[in-house]
Amino acid sequence: MHWKKISIICCLTGCVVVANDVKAQENSPYSRYGLGDLYNTQHVVNRGMGGVSQAYSDFQSVNFTNPASYSNLKLVTYDVALEGGVKKITDKDQSFSSGLGNLAYLQLGIPLRNKWGVVAGLRPMTNVSYNITRSEERIFFDTLQMPVLYQYEGTGGVYQAYIGSGFGWKGISVGFNAGYIFGNIQNSTKAIYPLESNTFPSQHSKRTTYQSFFYNIGLQYEIKLNKETSMVLGASGNFEQKLKARREVLRETLYYDAGSNDYGTQDTVSYTSGDRGNIVYPQQFGAGIMFKKIDKWQFGADFTSGKWSEYRNYKEADSTRDTWKVAVGGQFTPNVLALKGYWNRVTYRLGGYYGQDYIKLGGQDMSAMAVTFGAGLPVRRMMYSNQFSIVNLSFEIGRRGDNNTLLKENFYRVGLGFSLSDRWFIKQKYD
């Protein structure tokens, strides 16, 4: 019985749940638009290589980006990762910084037989977290001029729970992910007037709950160049999907409570619930190429795109645009079989990407770029053990927007992943 393995998995899962529950407070104005800030759905291994993942596969890591890679799983692999970092957002007049931290993914890959693997997992898809204030002078009743303070707040996020499978035959592999998108996003706008105006503040809040199925498919084709090196072509994506959603809308007047220095509900103006509709989740596509030498090196490039200009929320368009990204990167292991010199068995990764973000503010396109590096640190195996475990690290330094956009975001992200692999299904033999 694999009680030691199960104990380790349960311990790591508990740490992930706690870390996700007490994640750092974020404040990202970008998350007010679309589905919020889109999380990086890539494995920590691929993040260290600039996000190159379309043609990547490994026998002991789960590459969710292209499910065709599941066919190359050789060991039962428990994959879990956390990410954290700091972002600094600036405009022409001011700047502020906030931390970020969350669960990156939690997934289990199982090889059923040669060139056939299945995966089950959970990962965050988007995050909404912002608190923005803006003041302006408004004219009421044609002659009365009054300052109004607007406060915009948003919280919540969307998650994906999924299963997938990949099948291989000779050099061709195909795969799919299918699962359930769930979560909720709450947005509110509060209008606050001067106390001496005797005008009640007001608040308009909206809560959207997501409950819908999703899918994506993938393909990889490996061409042998010689005995040890090969070229892999990969592609994955999904067609436009309509996500089911339910919405609650509340409009109310408020009053100021001097004792608590906060606002309470004075009166409910209107309330609707159970308003069902669709969220148009756009078509997305990615393709890439990878050159590799067994147990030595891999390097390649990816191109990805998404039709986010077609995103709709209850038939309403938003400040989104079509997006694209080019990524390049690779990894190198000096000597995977080295008996001496631990750092000879470490895998070193480097890469970068450039593209257009899916948010478009003030009619201006917004670029996104970063350089990345990382490492795969093998954990020493116990004698007579079938366990193969690796600690993966990734570091990302990048930005969204520039000095010509309304906002510019500089960020630093760190990914910490654990790949715990083992040969679980071994029939014991006795002499």
Beta-carbon contacts of 35 under 8 Å, excluding residues fewer than 6 positions away, are 125, 126, 158, 185, 279, 311
pLDDT: is 145 or 278 the higher one? 278
pLDDT band with cut points at 50, 70 and 90 for residue 22? very low
Check whether 424 has a pLDDT greater than 60: no
Q: Look at residues 37, 48, 15 and name the one whose alpha carbon lies nearest to residue 346.
A: 48
Residues 105, 125 contacting (CB under 8 angstroms): no
pLDDT band with cut points at 50, 70 and 90 for residue 115? very high
Q: What is the CATH number of domain 3-382+394-422?
A: 2.40.160
C-alpha separations of 428 from 1, 4, 56, 431 in Å = 12, 18, 33, 10
Provide the β-strand partners of residue 188.
153, 205
pLDDT of residue 381: 58
Structure tokens at 114: 């040669």
pLDDT of residue 141: 62
Q: DSSP letter at 406?
A: S
Check whether 26 has a pLDDT greater than 60: yes
CB 240: neighbour CB atoms within 10 A?
12
What b-and-e string marks burial along 52-79, b requiring 16 or more CB atoms within 10 Å of the CB?
bbbbbbbebbbbbbbbbbbbbbebbbbb
pLDDT of residue 255: 82
pLDDT: is 366 or 140 the higher one? 366
pLDDT of residue 386: 53
The structure tokens 């396109």 sit at 365
> For 214-267, what is each residue's pLDDT tens digit?
999 999 999 999 988 999 999 999 999 999 999 999 999 888 777 777 778 888
SS3 assignment, position 334 = coil
> For 292-318, what is each residue's pLDDT tens digit?
998 899 999 999 999 999 999 998 988
> For 32-51, what is each residue's pLDDT tens digit?
888 999 988 899 999 999 99
Tell me the C-alpha distance between 413 and 322, whole Å: 25
Average pLDDT of the residues in 2-31? 52
Tell me what the pLDDT averaged over the chain comes to: 86
Average pLDDT of the residues in 371-399? 82
CB 224: neighbour CB atoms within 10 A?
10
Largest CA distance in the chain: 99
C-alpha separations of 302 from 33, 46, 171, 236, 256 in Å = 26, 11, 20, 11, 54
Check whether 12 has a pLDDT greater than 50: no
Tell me the C-alpha distance between 230 and 289, whole Å: 11
Check whether 389 has a pLDDT greater than 90: no
pLDDT: is 428 or 243 the higher one? 243
Check whether 367 has a pLDDT greater than 80: yes
pLDDT band with cut points at 50, 70 and 90 for residue 11? very low
pLDDT of residue 15: 45
pTM of the model: 0.85
Q: Look at residues 77, 6, 39, 107 and name the one whose alpha carbon lies nearest to residue 415.
A: 39
